Chains A and B, each alone.
Chain A
Amino acid sequence: AQSVTQLDSQVPVFEEAPVELRCNYSSSVSVYLFWYVQYPNQGLQLLLKYLSGSTLVESINGFEAEFNKSQTSFHLRKPSVHISDTAEYFCAVKGAGGTSYGKLTFGQGTILTVHP
């Protein structure tokens, strides 16, 4: 079984400031890791994911996350945020291999609010 802890429930920042949303996981097996985002009045959508290979993964809108196996973390970062990044961000984990189709274990979410 897996579990996910998002250490901050809310993160307020000013526009153009850097931001880090923290995520730690626990698992007895190898994992795949994900960040999902939910913009106001929209459905959840995938932001980025780590399956294998390079431990640093990027999204098309400037976010990046680094898989750190020793620290069991997958923190999400952006060097300069925009107002439009205001959303709720969910970290999720899935055990690698097996047949647990569609079953992700989600963190409790971090609400990122970008102020002008």
Chain B
Amino acid sequence: SAVISQKPSRDICQRGTSLTIQCQVDSQVTMMFWYRQQPGQSLTLIATANQGSEATYESGFVIDKFPISRPNLTFSTLTVSNMSPEDSSIYLCSVEGRGQGRIGELFFGEGSRLTVL
């Protein structure tokens, strides 16, 4: 298993500002994943953060809006830029279990709940 710590756990932000969410994992992992959970909706993958290379973004998400850093094998940040109320969501960091038998087994942080006014 993996223990994932995220901060902040929640924040209230003003429209037009940016916020950086930090994610720390207790073991070295090649890939870290950022998901978004909008109110009343399912989780959606934003991007995959690879150590030593640019993040890979899913359709509908762009680097200018959600820049990601991955400075080492245990840490990543996601920035939500120029926020609007539509960005109010829970943002989740996750990693995948290792080995064939752990395919799809994601470990999640407790999430960062952002409210944009």
Contact = CB atoms under 8 A, between A and B. Distances in A.
Interface of A: 4, 32, 34, 36, 42-46, 49, 51, 90, 92, 94, 101-104, 106-109
Contacts, number: 58
Interface residues of B, number: 25
Given A4-B42, A103-B33, 17 more contacts: A36-B106, A43-B92, A43-B108, A44-B43, A45-B108, A51-B101, A94-B104, A101-B48, A101-B96, A102-B31, A102-B48, A103-B45, A103-B58, A104-B104, A106-B44, A107-B42, A108-B41
A113 B9 CA distance: 25
A36 B111 CA distance: 15
* Interface residue SS majority, chain B: strand
Nearest to A4: B42
B66 to A, nearest CB: 16
Contacts of A4: 42
A10 to B, nearest CB: 11
Interface string B29-42: 00101000000111
